[in-house]
Amino acid sequence: MRILEDELIERIRRRIPSSEGGALRLGIGHDAALIHAQGWDWVVTCDQFLEGAHFLADKHPPQSVGYKALIRAASDVVAMAARPRFFLLSLALPAERTGAWLNQMLSGMARASKSLGLRLAGGDTARSAGDGARIALNVMVLGEARRGDGIGRAGARPDDGIYVTGILGRAQLGLELILREMSGQRSYRKLLAPHYYPTLSLDFALWLGRHYLPSAMMDISDGLSTDLRRLCRASGVGARIYADQLPLVAVPGSLQGIPELDPLTLALHGGEDYGLLFTAPMRRVSRIPNIFGRTRITRIGEIVRGSGVKIVAAGGKVSSLIPSGWDHFAKR
Amino acid sequence: MRILEDELIERIRRRIPSSEGGALRLGIGHDAALIHAQGWDWVVTCDQFLEGAHFLADKHPPQSVGYKALIRAASDVVAMAARPRFFLLSLALPAERTGAWLNQMLSGMARASKSLGLRLAGGDTARSAGDGARIALNVMVLGEARRGDGIGRAGARPDDGIYVTGILGRAQLGLELILREMSGQRSYRKLLAPHYYPTLSLDFALWLGRHYLPSAMMDISDGLSTDLRRLCRASGVGARIYADQLPLVAVPGSLQGIPELDPLTLALHGGEDYGLLFTAPMRRVSRIPNIFGRTRITRIGEIVRGSGVKIVAAGGKVSSLIPSGWDHFAKR
């Protein structure tokens, strides 16, 4: 539904009262909603994690499913420079998944919740019935930010620097190995972790918010080409990025030559890295570190007037970057 | 999954950090979570509304599906004497439902959101893929209560009076007519509204909270026999109710004699009325009105020491009330 999503959201927005204003500072179209409370802002988001669309029950370990379902939703809160505090879990399960599968899924989810200091506050369970019944997880995360610390995706301005955290394309490389049935090979096993158990840069995101450094921020969940375009659209600007500045995934020599495993392709279009994508005004650029704890920060380009994202190749050739990020498993 | 639900929730609770404490005043096991903010409490809940489990796409108008999906989740917030403020919507749709069906569903949801003053703050959309792909709606509602006004279900004490709002069994009567293919008959048409478009007693719930009258409160979503037992279990008490005091649904003469349409059966076990079930200490009983605006309030019994729910028949015979509330469409 990736292609349809923007149109769908527009239809929903037109029909259901959803205007920003009053306590609702940021609503639809941001990673999470931002709600003013007394002195604090609450940041809420929900994300589905569906069998067949977001994971494959016969290929993904249940621990990874539970871990990622929570990380994915929490990432939207973290990307607004808010601290995830509580979550709700809605589960729809076919009967045959309520035993060992569920236990393992929950242990993966517990790992994610502990790593972020998140507490489960409630939820809902239902049976997923009928032929072809599938597993559906829905996670709602509630986070908090000091008033004014939360960061949306609409504030980027021309000349702002564009930054990403971490390495781009690592999660997609893992997924490609799994889909190619190569995940069992011992030498590739360590390449799977970024796909199974991605980590969030919570401390860095909070630090950025506390120092009011980013003009806009979001997470890279669907791939840089897709997510950077979203940031630009929300901000009413364009972007130029440089291929030779991207922090590319390292692809082992034995896998080189496979087009989908080209490091630049993986970095531009690969999803689920859950790194941060943010922009910073020129006057604050000197305060952005290259490394923060274990988080690597890389400047990859700058915001420009206009619209659309251009990529400058190593040789200087400029071309439009077509958003072709993660469409779940739609095209497979 | 009704039978499994308690066991499932217990397993989830054991595995994922979810203890109450600190800002999390009420968590798993209540209708909604209660979170302390500065001076206010936030109340959050999420509810699934699944094709096949909670509605039948070929029998329920899409407007009713959207309306009820939101009312059902908001009801959990209202039942804690909190005002629903914002909601998030996760949608998983088969491709063929993204057209007219979606538009009509959204218009029903808008009707519910306007009736409660709720604003949509965000959400997630995904394609429901594969054979037998089904519609899944997941609604998260965020409400607010003045500090201390929120009411959980664990505070009932022996000798408290037990109250319900509205008429019991009306929604179930509507559902039975639909399942029996009798919903097209003109004379029965007005009996369907309580099933399609149930209303919440928001003002009364807020009034109760503001005056600290209930010792425990929840909504009747799965039927009185099931929900009263839940309230008793959470409070560590038992209950005695009187058959001749129940506000029974009126069943037309032409439908009498059908066992499932017996008014007492509908009232005790019928789901989805979304009335309030609450208890009040004896010293406050005189302050509970019989009518509040258009909401009828009925005392149906009292809390007793021990456990379990007893029902006293019109002739004085006492028997155990077996919880056999709404199991969605599990047994059909």
In a domain, B313, yes or no: yes
Find, in chain B, the residue whose alpha carbon is nearest to that of A26. B121
> What is the rounded CA–CA span in Å between residue A235 and residue A241?
16
Helix (H) or strand (E) holding B85: strand B83-93
Whether the pLDDT of residue A312 is over 90: the answer is yes
**What is the per-residue pLDDT for B147?**
77
In a domain, A151, yes or no: no
> What is the rounded CA–CA span in Å between residue B252 and residue B273?
19
Whether the pLDDT of residue B71 is over 80: the answer is yes
CATH assignment of the domain containing B195: 3.90.650.10
Find, in chain B, the residue whose alpha carbon is nearest to that of A34. B121
Scored b (16 or more CB within 10 A) or e, B246-281 reads: bbbbebeeebeeeeebbbbbbbbbbbbbbbbbbbbb
User: pLDDT digits over A228-284, tens only?
Assistant: 998 999 899 999 999 999 999 999 999 998 988 999 999 999 999 999 999 999 999
**What is the per-residue pLDDT for B331?**
41
Pairing status of strand B161-165 against strand B276-280: antiparallel
**What is the per-residue pLDDT for B74?**
96
Are the Cβ atoms of B50 and A128 closer than 8 angstroms?
Answer: yes
B9 interfacial to chain A (CB closer than 8 Å) = yes
What angle in degrees, to the nearest 10, is found between the helix axes of A2-15 and B100-116? 40
In a domain, B154, yes or no: no
The rounded percent of chain A whose pLDDT value lies above 90 is: 63
A242 and A314 assigned to the same domain: yes
> What is the rounded CA–CA span in Å between residue B88 and residue A94?
25
Scored b (16 or more CB within 10 A) or e, A33-59 reads: bbbebeebbbbbbbbbbbbbbbbeeee
Are the Cβ atoms of A119 and B18 closer than 8 angstroms?
Answer: yes
Mean pLDDT of B304-317: 96
**B57, B201, B249, B35: which is closest to B134 by C-alpha?**
B57
Mean pLDDT of A13-18: 74
A253 and A135 assigned to the same domain: no
B165 and B285 assigned to the same domain: yes
Residue type, B26: L
Enumerate the residues of chain A whose CB falls inside 8 A of the CB of residue B330.
Answer: 127, 129
Residue type, A52: G
A residues 143-172 near B, CB within 8 Å?
Answer: none
B171 and B313 assigned to the same domain: yes
User: pLDDT digits over B82-105, tens only?
Assistant: 999 889 999 898 988 988 998 899
> What is the rounded CA–CA span in Å between residue A263 and residue A168?
9
The residue from B106, B122, B146 where one domain ends is: B146
B217 and B122 assigned to the same domain: no
Mean pLDDT of A85-94: 90
> What is the rounded CA–CA span in Å between residue A111 and residue A263?
30
**A220, A228, A226: which is closest to A275 by C-alpha?**
A220
CATH assignment of the domain containing B67: 3.30.1330.10
Band of residue A31 on the pLDDT scale cut at 50, 70, 90: low
A residues 179-218 near B, CB within 8 Å?
Answer: none
The residue from B146, B171, B193 where one domain ends is: B146
Are the Cβ atoms of A113 and B48 closer than 8 angstroms?
Answer: no
> What is the rounded CA–CA span in Å between residue A151 and residue A278?
10
Please tell me the pTM assigned to this model: 0.89
Nearest-by-Cβ selection for A27 from B17, B121, B136: B121
The answer to whether the CB of A258 falls within 8 A of the CB of A182 is no
**What is the per-residue pLDDT for A252?**
94
In a domain, B267, yes or no: yes
**A233, A291, A301, A296: which is closest to A268 by C-alpha?**
A301
Q: Which domain holds residue B259?
A: 161-320
B residues 87-146 near A, CB within 8 Å?
Answer: 88-93, 98, 102-103, 106-107, 109-110, 113-114, 118-134, 136, 138, 140, 142
3-state SS assignment for residue B7: helix
Find, in chain A, the residue whose alpha carbon is nearest to that of B7. A98
Whether the pLDDT of residue A27 is over 80: the answer is no
Whether the pLDDT of residue A144 is over 60: the answer is yes
Q: How many C-beta atoms surround the C-beta of residue B289 within 10 A?
A: 12
**What is the per-residue pLDDT for A38?**
73
**A194, A82, A73: which is closest to A143 by C-alpha?**
A82
> What is the rounded CA–CA span in Å between residue A9 and residue B108?
16
Find, in chain A, the residue whose alpha carbon is nearest to that of B89. A46
Band of residue B33 on the pLDDT scale cut at 50, 70, 90: confident
Question: What is the ipTM for the molecules in this complex?
Answer: 0.87
**What is the per-residue pLDDT for A8?**
62
Whether the pLDDT of residue A326 is over 80: the answer is no
Of A41 and B264, more confident: B264
In a domain, B306, yes or no: yes
| Structural domains of chain B, count | 2
Mean pLDDT of B185-204: 94
Are the Cβ atoms of B16 and A122 closer than 8 angstroms?
Answer: no
Give burial (CB, 10 Å; 0-12/13-18/19+) of A294.
exposed
Find, in chain B, the residue whose alpha carbon is nearest to that of A133. B132
> What is the rounded CA–CA span in Å between residue B234 and residue B44?
19
Are the Cβ atoms of B8 and A107 closer than 8 angstroms?
Answer: no
- HSE at residue A129, side-chain half, CA atoms within 13 A, is 19
Q: How far is B255 from chain A (nearest CA, A)?
A: 31
Question: Any bridge partners for residue B34, and if so which?
Answer: B26, B43
Locate the DSSP E strands across chain A. Answer: 24-26, 33-36, 40-50, 83-93, 119-127, 136-146, 161-165, 216-219, 238-242, 276-280, 291-292, 295-304, 309-312, 318-320
Mean pLDDT of the residues in chain A: 89
**What is the per-residue pLDDT for A9?**
65
B128 and B230 assigned to the same domain: no
Band of residue A1 on the pLDDT scale cut at 50, 70, 90: very low
Whether the pLDDT of residue B3 is over 70: the answer is no
Band of residue B1 on the pLDDT scale cut at 50, 70, 90: very low
**What is the per-residue pLDDT for A207?**
96
Helix (H) or strand (E) holding B227: helix B224-235
> What is the rounded CA–CA span in Å between residue B1 and residue A93?
9
Are the Cβ atoms of A42 and B42 closer than 8 angstroms?
Answer: yes
User: pLDDT digits over B235-280, tens only?
Assistant: 999 999 999 999 999 999 999 989 889 999 999 999 999 999 999 9
Enumerate the residues of chain B whose CB falls inside 8 A of the CB of residue A89.
Answer: 12, 16
A70 and A107 assigned to the same domain: yes
Mean pLDDT of A204-231: 94
Pairing status of strand A40-50 against strand A238-242: unpaired
A168 and A313 assigned to the same domain: yes
User: pLDDT digits over B99-148, tens only?
Assistant: 899 889 999 999 999 999 988 888 888 888 777 789 999 999 999 888 77
**What is the per-residue pLDDT for B6?**
59
Mean pLDDT of B319-327: 80
Enumerate the residues of chain A whose CB falls inside 8 A of the CB of residue B18.
Answer: 119-121
- HSE at residue B212, side-chain half, CA atoms within 13 A, is 4
Whether the pLDDT of residue A35 is over 80: the answer is no
**What is the per-residue pLDDT for B326?**
58
Q: Which of A31, A85, A127, A137 to mutate to test the interface with B (most CBs of B within 10 A)?
A: A127
B105 and B222 assigned to the same domain: no
Lookup: tokens for B228 = 């009263």
Enumerate the residues of chain B whose CB falls inside 8 A of the CB of residue A39.
Answer: 38
**What is the per-residue pLDDT for A7?**
66
In a domain, B65, yes or no: yes
A142 and A250 assigned to the same domain: no
**What is the per-residue pLDDT for A13?**
73
Q: Which of B124, B137, B328 to mutate to test the interface with A (most CBs of A within 10 A)?
A: B124
B6 interfacial to chain A (CB closer than 8 Å) = no
> What is the rounded CA–CA span in Å between residue B209 and residue A33?
27
**What is the per-residue pLDDT for B221?**
92
Q: Which of B5, B19, B116, B127 to mutate to test the interface with A (most CBs of A within 10 A)?
A: B127
Sequence-ordered list of residues with C-beta below 8 angstroms from that of A98, at least 6 positions apart, any chain: B1, B4, B8
A217 and A310 assigned to the same domain: yes
B residues 37-76 near A, CB within 8 Å?
Answer: 37-40, 42, 44-48, 50, 52-54
In a domain, B152, yes or no: no
Mean pLDDT of the residues in chain B: 89
A241 interfacial to chain B (CB closer than 8 Å) = no
**A120, A111, A264: which is closest to A193 by C-alpha?**
A111
In a domain, B12, yes or no: yes
- HSE at residue B62, side-chain half, CA atoms within 13 A, is 15
The residue from A120, A146, A172 where one domain ends is: A146
Helix (H) or strand (E) holding B175: helix B170-179
A295 and A184 assigned to the same domain: yes
Q: How far is B180 from chain A (nearest CA, A)?
A: 21
Band of residue A197 on the pLDDT scale cut at 50, 70, 90: very high
Q: How far is A194 from chain B (nearest CA, A)?
A: 23
